[in-house]
Amino acid sequence: MKYLGCAYYPEYWGVDRVETDAKLMKEAGINFARIGEFAWSRMEPQEGVFTLDWLNKSIEILNRYGIKVLMCTPSATPPAWLASAYPDTVIVKADGKRLEHGNRKHFCSTSDTYRRHCRRIIEVLCREMKKHENVIAWQIDNELGPEVGWCYCENCQSRFRAWLLEKYGSLETLNRAWGTGFWSMDYSDWRQVRLGSDPFHHYSSRNLDSKRFFSDMMIDYGMFQANIIRENHPGSIVTTNGMGPIYPHINYYQLFKDLDVACDDLYFDIGTMDADVAAMNVFRSIKPGKKFWITETGSGALDHNKPPHKKQFRAWAWSAWAHGSEAHFIFRWRTCLSGQEQELQGILEHSGLPRHRYQAVKECFNEFNDLAYELDRVSLPKAEVAIIQDYDVLWAYDSVRVGPAVNYLPLVYQIHKKLYARNILTDIIDPGQDFRKYKLIILPSMVMLDKEFADRLRNAVYAGATVFSIGQMGMRDKNNNYLPYPGPFELTDLFGIKIHGGMYLDSQVGVEEAIWTPEHRHGSVTVAVKGSVAGETLTGMASKWIADIEAIDCESLFTFQDEAYQYQPAVTEKRYGKGKAIYQGFLNGTVELEERIFDDILAQSNVQVKYQTPLHVEVVERDNFICVVNHLDRAVEVNIPSPVKAVLGTYEDGKCILEPYGVGLLRCI
């Protein structure tokens, strides 16, 4: 791991403490400090008055201890004087209420006034920072996104209209694109058009474009800052810190395209381990060929929760290395005394004393530093499988009236977990990315797609790839409206099917007493499916949603056994060129059935399951290294088929032997 860092707040602790801290950091193996993202009021206590002495001095001290600096623009926390003097810089909620100073991220990103103040402070900071050799990188703002909701001020409304005009050219085209003919939604004047994002009360096309607009505005704001830094501190690495395994509010593939490195704030104990791995697979895929950074992770507890087990810090760090991270920043150096996050544990205690967490970090980081020469030159791990994750599809599902039974993101995670459980490394990519190198391409509920994508997909399959599509596919246009003809859009020849629609399997009436027939008592019903995998007859039940499929030119591997689609295809397969197109026309089948189908697809795609482990015991290959991480609270053994030598951990009799939360790093011989 190249960079071992932590978030550091000299503006809070005072410059007098920096020497003590820097010494402790160095002993702990820390070589990188992230500074400044919340310090605006201490950098510019009054409008236009700058006090950066503390900052310059702190950075100099850190430099003496060999610690580099990731400098942040402080715009996530505008000072009280700014919100008070320039109310138009503050977010207006959908209900018309303007936020107040006292929390964070309450700025309107489209506000020209706000941008003017951002520009000034960033320019001043750049001028100072470029004097320091150890300031090598910049973080824009902090966790861009609607932490306190999106802004609905009149400036944003006007920007939205301008964005729509740019996109559609005229109100007539907008009306047509949004399908405004139902419920008298037609617009006759641009002033009638406003942001919407209420899946129940607003048109789904209006909701979808609003979400696209919000994402675009935030990217625009990020690039506005990036450009100032690049102009004023050329040569520095410019980035920002993202979130989530899949962050739902901003198209990260687009955001990070023009930044220098993809960064994730990844607290491993918020989600399951498979979700954490999904996060790393996402951030490695965002900038193909580039290592990613973890800009925040915990060494202790989040607010009032239990901190992780003392050995988990190391297990997680090694998993991060294995998946291609080159930076590991702890949030934060020392637990704050005051404020909203006063319980979120830093490496040091409130007292500033090093205790349990400091020891854990120190041991782990020094282990990395000892191996740095070998590890840092290893190339990225390589995936044979890609999942297509489309922000348009994500937003489409979030823009419709009723909570979609189809659950887009859970489906993505569910598919990813199948691969994770089999130790198959997976890229999670945008539909615009090149997927020709993958053996297996997976399309989860890709309800909308464009011709260009369809063409590329067809070519990839023709050339030998397997495509596996599950759920709703090619049924809507890019405005979230259903197509006026059967789906799948532009893919009928590839899959050899028509999709006429589908059937949700949630039952209208969930409460026992309120049901209209005594047989269907539950909130959701199931439909039987039957077919064969590798010659063996299998049966199971589909739930959530089933497709109304008409076979045109395909093999029907499974059929539905009851309800309206009785005896229609449920899973279809078509050979196409050297590849294969498989469609599963239902969601959430019986687990065993789904697993069998999935194993068969892997086998047919020539994707090999090399390491069989209990769930949450990982094996990842990077060049000639095999990294084995045990996330379980019990000892395990993992068979390693090829001959290796243990760099870390124990290898005996062809087995890697791991203690609870243990790590094995093996070198192939």
Give, as ranges, the residues between 219 and 248 that touch its own copies (CB under 8 A): none
**Window 345 to 384, contacts with its own copies (CB under 8 A):** 345, 349-353, 355-356
Task: Please identify, using beta-carbon distances, which residue of 39 and 218 lies nearer to its own copies.
Answer: 39
CA terminus-to-terminus distance, the chain: 23
CB of 220 vs its own copies, minimal distance in Å: 23
591 binds its own copies, rule: CB under 8 A = no
Pick from 2, 26, 57, 101: which binds its own copies (CB under 8 A)? 101
Show the tokens assigned to 309: 């087990």
The residues that bridge with 7 in the sheet, in sequence order, are: 34
Pick the piece of the chain touching its own copies (CB under 8 A) from 63-71, 127-135, 176-184, 423-431: 176-184
d(CA 584, CA 470): 5
Say how far residue 190 (Cα) sits from the centre of its chain: 35
Show the tokens assigned to 334: 């020392």
CB of 40 vs its own copies, minimal distance in Å: 5
Instruction: Kindly write out the interface string for residues 288-307 of this chain, putting x where it contacts its own copies by CB under 8 A and - elsewhere.
Output: -------------xxxxxxx
Pick the piece of the chain touching its own copies (CB under 8 A) from 155-163, 380-388, 629-637, 651-659: 629-637
Pick the piece of the chain touching its own copies (CB under 8 A) from 126-134, 172-180, 232-240, 580-588: 172-180
Residue 77: CB partners within 8 Å, gap ≥ 6? Answer: 37, 38, 40, 41, 104, 105, 142
Pick from 23, 127, 131, 191: which binds its own copies (CB under 8 A)? 191
Show the tokens assigned to 212: 């696209």
Pick from 65, 107, 163, 203: which binds its own copies (CB under 8 A)? 203
Pick from 131, 162, 167, 181: which binds its own copies (CB under 8 A)? 181
Instruction: Kindly write out the interface string for residues 529-548 of this chain, putting x where it contacts its own copies by CB under 8 A and - elsewhere.
Output: -------------------x
Instruction: Kindly write out the interface string for residues 62-81 of this chain, putting x where it contacts its own copies by CB under 8 A and - elsewhere.
Output: ------------x--xxxxx
SS (H, E, C) 76-107: CCCCHHHHHHCHHHECECCCCCECCECECCCE
CB of 456 vs its own copies, minimal distance in Å: 26
Pick from 87, 146, 149, 271: which binds its own copies (CB under 8 A)? 271
Pick from 202, 323, 328, 574: which binds its own copies (CB under 8 A)? 202
CB of 335 vs its own copies, minimal distance in Å: 7
**Window 130 to 169, contacts with its own copies (CB under 8 A):** 148
Pick the piece of the chain touching its own copies (CB under 8 A) from 98-106, 110-118, 371-379, 381-389: 98-106
| Beta pairing class for 466-470 and 241-243 | unpaired
Residues classed as catalytic: 143, 296
d(CA 232, CA 164): 33
Query: 139 burial class (0-12, 13-18, 19+ CB within 10 angstroms)?
Result: buried
Task: Please identify, using beta-carbon distances, which residue of 43 and 640 lies nearer to its own copies.
Answer: 43
DSSP 8-state symbol, 541: E
335 binds its own copies, rule: CB under 8 A = yes
Residues in binding contact with its own copies, number by CB under 8 A = 129
Task: Please identify, using beta-carbon distances, which residue of 505 and 607 lies nearer to its own copies.
Answer: 505
Residue 63 CB neighbours (<10 A): 16
SS (H, E, C) 562-620: CCCCCCCEEEEEEEECCEEEEEECEEEECHHHHHHHHHHHHHHHCCCCCCCCCCCEEEE
Query: Would residue 625 be called left, alpha or beta, if left means φ above 0 and alpha means ψ between -120 and 50 degrees?
Result: beta
